[in-house]
Amino acid sequence: MDFDDRYQGYCEALIQNGLPVDKALVYQEGGAVFSYNRGCRAAGFLLDSKANFDGIVTQSDEEAMGVMNVLMKRGVQVPGDVRIIGMDNAPYCNFAQVSMS
């Protein structure tokens, strides 16, 4: 699955649940490498945009770890203020400061 497939599923899920699709809440970067650094950039993008969000779904657990670390460094309570979901059940997630879904 690539970004476009996952984004389409995201949009469909929002619409099916009567929620608006807000493109300001979507961070997209070219390439297919889902990395820790990409997660860091995505978290920074969302925080700097001042968008209102309470959860982040990432393309990989590695991205989710980057997101988590940036949020926590910037004073966001995880999972109290923002919940994070990764995708791929990587074994190193067991060593994260906070459990991920």
**How many helical (H) and strand (E) elements, i.e. helices and strands, does the chain have?**
3, 2
CATH architecture, domain 3-95: 3-Layer(aba) Sandwich (3.40)
Element (H, E) at 57: strand 55-57
CA atoms of 87 and 91, how far apart (whole Å): 12
Calculate the alpha carbon distances from 38 to 29, 31, 87 in Å: 8, 10, 14
- Is the pTM higher than 0.95? The answer reads no
* pLDDT tier at 101, thresholds 50, 70, 90: low
* pLDDT tier at 65, thresholds 50, 70, 90: very high
Q: Is pLDDT at 68 greater than 70 in this prediction? A: yes
